[in-house]
Amino acid sequence: MNYLSDTITKPTEEMMASIQHAALGDDVYGEDPTVNRLEEFAAELLGMESACFMPSGTMANLASIMAHCPRGSKVLVGDESDIYIFEAGGASVCGGIMYEPIPTQPNGELAIQDLEKVFPFDPEDPQFALPALICLENTHNRCGGKVLSLSYLKEVYEFSRKRKIPIHMDGARLFNAACAAGVDVKEIMQYADSVQFCLSKGLSAPIGSIAAGSKEHIKKVRTLRKMLGGGMRQVGIMAAPALVALEKMTSRLRDDHTRAKKLAQGLSSIPGIKINPEEVETNIVIFTVDEDICTWQRFLALNENQGLIFSEMGYGRIRAVIHRHISDDDISSTISTVRSVIEIEMTQTV
């Protein structure tokens, strides 16, 4: 079983069939009718004015940050965020924008008092790069798929209005957040100025992400997409399965969440595995292994030999991501395999 990421999902048969009949045109000129329909549907779904189909979440985040931030300004990001850790410093390299890492709380939040600290006492002092954007991640990957509460999002939104800077949400797994919170995705998006979400994770489309926001923001994003090399031609062949994903796949995410909880409960019963199942909110399960029994490197290798693939998220944290190719039987088999690996290692350490 491959728990490496939900990026490994394959498109459904309906998605593959949609490619064969997609109406095509040159999207750089805005002439691909399938892309146009996808963007209109996505914007309506989010309650945003406009949307843009992007090749990847990384490019969607980068273009959104650059559209918000002038050169020489700061973007406030969590020190455990995907934007800060996994996106190759793009805002600094391409946009001349400084990352200001903010301590990430265990639940994925950036505390208001920590955000407040990075604003200079005198914004007219020319010595300082000024904050121009707050980035939030929802759900939060390295915090174990945590969902940012609506009350917290409202609090940060009110803070951002006071400080007169916008909020961008890295919502790679935005629909997991809405599903877990039991709310319409519009309720989340009322507290952000822009967002990106991935079509190629739990939603199972083969490729792509959506950037959304105001008409003016997305106009800038389109220009930046072209500059970054993301302008695409007859891209309706990718937009067609993405439409199927948005129309058919969002509601099934709760199945992944249920299986993630079942996996966490099973792992918690294994000696040497540290995890609190109550903290699992969506499709990501993060746990650690007692190093007196087994190092995380050896744990990954031993399980891979048994056909189980996990990933490591820093500081020895091991991640399992549930997706539509993981069944109930797979969960049971995984728990049994991990238990067997740990028991063998325990006998060797006695």
One-letter amino acid identity for 155?
E
What's the rounded mean pLDDT across residues 328-337?
98
Q: 253-349, which class in CATH?
A: alpha beta
Between CA 213 and CA 226 the distance in angstroms is 18
- For residue 237, the model assigns a pLDDT of 97
334-338: long-range contacts, CB 8 A cutoff, minimum separation 24: 334/1, 334/3, 334/263, 334/266, 334/308, 335/263, 335/266, 335/267, 335/270, 337/303, 337/306, 337/307, 337/308, 338/267, 338/270, 338/273, 338/303, 338/308
Between CA 153 and CA 95 the distance in angstroms is 27
Q: pLDDT above 70 covers what percent of the chain?
A: 99
- 150 token code pair: 């609506």
- For residue 350, the model assigns a pLDDT of 54
One-letter amino acid identity for 160?
S
- For residue 257, the model assigns a pLDDT of 98
Q: pLDDT above 90 covers what percent of the chain?
A: 96
- For residue 124, the model assigns a pLDDT of 86
Residue 294 — very low, low, confident or very high, per pLDDT cuts 50/70/90?
very high
Residue 286 contacts residue 80 (beta carbons within 8 Å): no
- Tens digit of each residue's pLDDT (9 = 90 or more) over 252-267: 999 999 999 999 999 9
CATH architecture of the domain covering 9-248: 3-Layer(aba) Sandwich (3.40)
Residue by residue, DSSP assigns 100-111 as: EEEPBPTTS-B-
Q: Are strands 209-213 and 194-198 parallel, antiparallel or unpaired?
A: antiparallel
Residue 261 contacts residue 126 (beta carbons within 8 Å): no
- The DSSP H or E segment spanning 99 is strand 98-102
Residue boundaries of the structural domains of the chain: 9-248, 253-349
- Tens digit of each residue's pLDDT (9 = 90 or more) over 121-162: 888 889 999 999 999 999 999 999 999 999 999 999 999 999
- Tens digit of each residue's pLDDT (9 = 90 or more) over 18-29: 999 999 999 999
User: Which whole-number Å values give the CA distances from 267 to 167, 212, 318, in the listed order?
Assistant: 37, 38, 12
Q: List, in order, residues 6 or more apart from 317 with CB less than 8 Å away.
A: 142, 286, 287, 288
Residue 188 contacts residue 174 (beta carbons within 8 Å): yes
pTM of the predicted model as reported, rounded to 2 decimal places:
0.96
